[in-house]
């Protein structure tokens, strides 16, 4: 599982020329799944995301988490995070989980975020979306977790 985290002043996702989801201060998460990802991996990533200290304290030091600032999340499915560009000029997406399975995991991911009482906005899995991100800092961090338990 890969999640690209961006600290955001405000962001929104537009689908069919309408604002579908919008947040104020918080994080934009671009989320991608690969083979063998499961709820254990999701739980690990949610804990990492919610406790990632990338927000400024009163001294301007990145010392606070999303939980500390009561921030919001805009979660967007993004299969291209598993693009492989090592050969040729056209990215390969074979490491990205197929749409049906990824959709299930993405819904679980978002449901678990809601269970943590996080203000959450999302896009629509597989939809053509326009995502407007006001990246604060800019702070952008790539998180990755493999399910090593099921590796062959």
* pLDDT tens sequence across 10-55: 999 999 999 999 999 999 999 999 999 999 999 999 999 999 999 9
Considering the domain boundaries, does residue 150 fall inside one? no
- Residue tagged 């090592």 (tokens): 86
| Beta carbons within 8 Å of 126's beta carbon, 6+ residues apart | 77, 99, 103
Q: How far apart are CA 41 and CA 147, in angstroms?
A: 6
| 15 assigned to some structural domain | yes
Phi, psi (rounded to 5 degrees) for 144:
-145, 140
- The H-assigned helical ranges of the chain are 39-51, 66-69, 99-115
72 neighbors 122 (Cβ within 8 angstroms): no
Whichever domain contains 70, its CATH number is 3.50.80.10
The whole domain housing 120 covers 2-145
For residue 151, tell me if it sits in a domain: no
65 vs 146: which has the higher pLDDT:
65
Distance CA(108)–CA(102), nearest Å, equals 10
Residues 67, 73, 75, 81: is their CA dihedral positive or negative? negative
Residue 91: pLDDT above 50? yes
CA–CA gap between residue 66 and residue 72 (Å, rounded): 8
How many domains does the chain fold into? 1
First-to-final CA distance of the chain: 17
Catalytic positions, written as ranges: 78-80
pTM: 0.94
Residue 152 lies in a domain: no
Q: What is the pLDDT of residue 146?
A: 79
């Amino acid at each position: 599982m890969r999640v690209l985290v961006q600290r955001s002043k405000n962001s929104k996702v537009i689908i069919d020329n309408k604002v579908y989801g919008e947040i104020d201060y918080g994080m934009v998460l671009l989320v991608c799944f690969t083979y063998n990802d499961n709820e254990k991996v999701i739980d690990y990533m949610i804990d990492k995301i919610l406790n990632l200290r990338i927000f400024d304290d009163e001294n301007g030091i990145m010392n606070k988490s999303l939980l500390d600032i009561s921030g919001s999340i805009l979660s967007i499915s993004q299969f291209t995070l598993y693009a492989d560009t090592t050969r040729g000029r056209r990215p390969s997406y074979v490491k990205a989980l197929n749409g049906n399975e990824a959709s299930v995991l993405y819904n679980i991911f978002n449901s678990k975020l809601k269970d943590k009482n996080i203000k959450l906005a999302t896009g629509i899995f597989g939809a053509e979306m326009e995502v407007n991100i006001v990246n604060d800092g800019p702070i952008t961090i790539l998180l990755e977790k493999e399910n090593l338990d099921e590796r062959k």
